[in-house]
Structure 1
Amino acid sequence: MMLQVWKNNRFSILLLLLGILFYWSFAFQLERTDFIKMITLWAGLFIIAYKIIQENADNWKLLAIAALLFRIVFLFAIPNLSQDFYRFIWDGRMLLEGFNPYLSLPEVWVAQGNTPIAQAQELYNGMGQLNGSHYTNYPPISQLCYFIAALFASKSILGSAMVFRVLIILADIGTFFYGKKLLEALKLPVKNIFWYILNPFIIIELTGNLHFEAVMVFFIIWSLYLLQKGYWYWTAIVLALSVSVKLIPLLFLPLFFQKFVMGEKRSLPKLMMFYGIVIITVFLTFAPFLSGEFFHNFKRTITLWFQNFEFNASIFFIIRWIGYQIVGWNVIETAGKILPLVTITILLGLTFFRQNKTTVQLITAMVLGICTYYFLSTTVHPWYIAVPLSLCVFTRYKFPMIWSFVIILSYTAYIHPDFKENLWMVGLEYGIVFSVLGWEIYKNSKVSKSVPTTSFLN
């Protein structure tokens, strides 16, 4: 039996073993300052993923096993490309001890020397002074995940990382399950889901570096499947849960207008109820933490995010350069107030001036909408691309796939000990992304948006 399996899948098994070796090296041997090694492994893993999917397009069980094995490689690893998980552990342990994580700063607890959680100094050192000096802005479902890790590993950083990893892997399994069902419901090739599940970017940034975009994506894909099946009220609840993981899905709410008001079963009252259920559900998840101080701290952190932080931006970096030429200083504070308004205007344009009546049209608008937001943002961390990447497998647009590969160029910032972005690399990254996007907009404008794509690679 085993011999027959080997004979029938020899090349794929060799690719699988090579992929495991590459992921192991990425997880346990890579320093993020070693960009040459990083991009070599990165490119190799993308080639391996492409070939495995190409060779086994109709063998989804083998592809699913490969995706799971690649993730398990990271189980005992400490993330080497991101420090955020230290703050996740901190928040979870504060919750376990009965403290509201939104109301205090790690740096204050450490300065006082009476922190109620284990390994406080180590966690603070790991998250860094910048993270430790700001109030947490991770919504309640994320906090629940952090609490679960604290419940099972309240005194071990590696143990907490392992619990996070299990939760993220379970979320990816859920994304695979509902993504596959949604593709079947839309009469699209099932193999499309593997361009997300087997994407090295997803495996490394989410499972490897412990970013909970994986949980958010799971709820988004689940909600879209429920919408396609006609369960709009459950869609609202599940979509609200995605908002309570990360706030970003709030951007999608206007785009549902045509689906409800101009679709097959037109109903403005139903749309209002849909929005009402989303808002109420989000409110209920936040309810245990609400207070005047919570609103002040949460708003303060969100404002800082838009008006103080900058990383891997595209259009904003051009605006910043123009600002230096005209006024002589960084205009991030002003731009941080104006660019979100531009994003909202574009989202409203997508809502009312583009056809979003079918589920495929809606998902396409979601891809374009969230990418518009990122193109206009002052900060675009690599793991943010998980959402448009997960959605694009249901559409004709493939540029998020390209973006998921070239986003590695943003890590050239870590070559320098003092963290300095290489704007030539940022320019190359976005030059490629915008070129592919422009070509796809031109190509897809000639095709009826109401007809779903038949192959993700066509």
Structure 2
Amino acid sequence: MITLWGALFLISYKLIQLNPNNWKMLAIAGLLFRITFLFAIPNLSQDFYRFIWDGRMLLEGFNPYLSLPEVWVAQGNAPIAQAQELYNGMGELNGSHYTNYPPISQLCYFIAALFASKSILGSAMVFRTLIILADIGVFFFGKKLLKALHLPEKQIFWYILNPFIIIELTGNLHFEAVMVFFIVWALYLLHKGYWYWAAVALGFSVSVKLIPLLFLPLFFKKFTLNTNEAYDKHSLTVGLPKLIGFYGIVLFTVFLTFAPFLSGEFFHNFKRTITLWFQNFEFNASIYFIVRWIGYQIVGWNVIETAGKIMPLVTISVLLVLTFFRKNKTMPQLISTMVLGICTYYFLSTTVHPWYIAVPLVLSVFTRYKFPIVWSFAVILSYTAYLHPGFKENLWMVGLEYIIVFIVLGWEIYKNTKTTTPEEVISTSSSS
């Protein structure tokens, strides 16, 4: 598997290297590689069964946040087609927890139910079509943003032709693709000066997955610094109202998408499921696994519940440091900080599924950082956990994955402190 994975990355690299200016050919290749999966059922992820379940429940008029698949199946009165098959597919673990997928994701699931309410393959095909359309949007706005930033437009193909993206998102049906589309669209709109529409797009991205909420503090200097990257009375007077308006529109957009589902029971169920991710689940972690090992040496048991409460606070602290102590005025500077911020969150997380890396990967396209591309290659090592029927992580493989990533990250940070970065060049030219 690793050999095949390496071959795919080599082919991707050579395609981009040999055809740097033939973007039509590269774009068509990216589309054809995705269409290859159109009639396939994913075999590296079970999540799509839950997506189908939620969408069909919505189609039948039920709030998917208020009930458990295992209860419907146990009672034998599930109001949707193929209920038992879907439950078997998603597994007992997934079926015993309330859904935590936000409303825009639920809308995608509803669309699949609308077109294929009795076919699992048909639902998968609708999902895949939506994800491919999202990637087309990433290509369109990503290419325009690269051009606006005076960066090589071919860099968008490090996302579009990345085998990891094609297999994990299009192949395994993960809706990070839709979230990434809204993030890239928001950044493009912000760069063009349409900050209000950028806020709406960013709000939609939050309503696909909650992760983009982490980016909100990082926009502070983008709105409040003047052209000389310093504070003055005028920049604060003009910038702060815009910043507050930007935050307000993002949060109001998120609220509007959640509004049809809101209730006391919804808040209880949603909070309960989100808490599980921080305090119960473990997979492909880096710093947390070191903390867990130290915990075993000191107290003799798994400290995930305590670490799951502390590490988010550490993440927030790092984000605030990045907000106030890094230059985030220009778009490349801001996106570079977003890369570091989201990766800090993942480095401190207890659970890092491979498809999560789609966000830092697409952001890195607009920066000098390339370690997310290396990470997208090395993350295949986490799948060695599935070599065991009972699912057992090989910590040597996980360790190797993160050693590779941290070495490249360390080298790039060192290199960027020793040389003039594209961010600085663009900033200087903009000022002049």
Letter in 1 for 2:384: T
User: Deviation digits for residues 130-183 of structure 1, max 9, x if unmatched?
Assistant: 000000000000000000000000000000000000000000000000000000
TM-score, with structure 1 as normaliser? 0.90
Which secondary structure state, in structure 1, belongs to the residue aligned with residue 402 of structure 2? helix
Corresponding position: 1:379 with 2:342: no
Which secondary structure state, in structure 2, belongs to the residue aligned with residue 154 of structure 1? coil
Cα RMSD for the two superposed structures: 0.9
Q: Which residue of 370, 376, 393 maps to 2:365? A: 393
Q: Paired residue for 2:83?
A: 120
Deviation of 1:448 after TM superposition, in Å, equals 4.0
Q: Paired residue for 2:416?
A: 444
CA distance in 2, matches of 1:173, 1:130: 34
Letter in 1 for 2:262: L
Which secondary structure state, in structure 2, belongs to the residue aligned with residue 451 of structure 1? helix
Q: Which residue of 377, 399, 411 maps to 1:427? A: 399
CA distance in 2, matches of 1:254, 1:393: 21
Q: Paired residue for 2:162?
A: 199
Deviation of 1:452 after TM superposition, in Å, equals 5.4
CA contact (8 A) 1:222 1:238 kept: yes
CA distance in 2, matches of 1:61, 1:451: 31
Which secondary structure state, in structure 2, belongs to the residue aligned with residue 82 of structure 1? coil
Q: Paired residue for 2:251?
A: 279
Deviation of 1:447 after TM superposition, in Å, equals 3.0
Deviation of 1:446 after TM superposition, in Å, equals 2.0
CA distance in 2, matches of 1:351, 1:74: 40
Letter in 1 for 2:279: Q
Corresponding position: 1:248 with 2:211: yes
CA distance in 1, matches of 2:283, 2:332: 32
CA distance in 2, matches of 1:103, 1:418: 30
Letter in 1 for 2:215: F
Could you say if the C-alpha distance between residues 452 and 290 of structure 1 is closer, same or farther in structure 2, counting changes exceeding 3 Å?
farther
Q: Paired residue for 2:232?
A: none
Q: Which residue of 341, 347, 354 maps to 1:369? A: 341
Letter in 1 for 2:285: A
Which secondary structure state, in structure 2, belongs to the residue aligned with residue 419 of structure 1? coil
After TM superposition, list the pairs within 5 Å mapping 1:192-271 onto structure 2: 192-264=155-227, 267-271=239-243
CA distance in 1, matches of 2:292, 2:242: 43
Q: Paired residue for 2:293?
A: 321
Corresponding position: 1:136 with 2:99: yes
Letter in 2 for 1:256: F
Letter in 1 for 2:202: L
Deviation of 1:263 after TM superposition, in Å, equals 4.1
Letter in 2 for 1:447: T
Which secondary structure state, in structure 2, belongs to the residue aligned with residue 136 of structure 1? coil
Which secondary structure state, in structure 2, belongs to the residue aligned with residue 445 of structure 1? helix
User: Deviation digits for residues 52-95 of structure 1, max 9, x if unmatched?
Assistant: 00110000000001000000000000001000000000000000
Deviation of 1:40 after TM superposition, in Å, equals 2.2
Corresponding position: 1:110 with 2:73: yes
State the aligned residue count: 416
User: Which range moved further: 266-275 or 174-183?
Assistant: 266-275
Q: Which runs of 5+ in 2 are unaligned?
A: 228-234, 427-432
Letter in 2 for 1:288: P
Q: Paired residue for 1:299?
A: 271
User: Deviation digits for residues 343-363 of structure 1, max 9, x if unmatched?
Assistant: 000000000001100000000
Deviation of 1:267 after TM superposition, in Å, equals 1.0
Q: Paired residue for 2:5?
A: 42
User: Deviation digits for residues 15-63 of structure 1, max 9, x if unmatched?
Assistant: xxxxxxxxxxxxxxxxxxxxxxx22221111011000001100000000
Which secondary structure state, in structure 1, belongs to the residue aligned with residue 418 of structure 2? coil
Q: Paired residue for 1:408?
A: 380
User: Deviation digits for residues 93-131 of structure 1, max 9, x if unmatched?
Assistant: 000000000000000000000000000000000000000
CA contact (8 A) 1:188 1:452 kept: no
Corresponding position: 1:78 with 2:51: no
Q: Which runs of 5+ in 1 are unaligned?
A: 1-37, 454-458
Q: Paired residue for 2:261?
A: 289
CA distance in 1, matches of 2:182, 2:417: 30
CA contact (8 A) 1:395 1:452 kept: no
Could you say if the C-alpha distance between residues 384 and 337 of structure 1 is closer, same or farther in structure 2, counting changes exceeding 3 Å?
same
CA distance in 2, matches of 1:247, 1:424: 31
Q: Paired residue for 1:174?
A: 137
Could you say if the C-alpha distance between residues 299 and 42 of structure 1 is closer, same or farther in structure 2, counting changes exceeding 3 Å?
same
CA distance in 2, matches of 1:51, 1:104: 49
CA contact (8 A) 1:360 1:452 kept: no
CA contact (8 A) 1:316 1:377 kept: yes
Which secondary structure state, in structure 2, belongs to the residue aligned with residue 396 of structure 1? coil
Deviation of 1:303 after TM superposition, in Å, equals 0.5
CA contact (8 A) 1:165 1:207 kept: yes
CA distance in 1, matches of 2:152, 2:314: 36
Q: Paired residue for 2:430?
A: none
Letter in 1 for 2:382: S
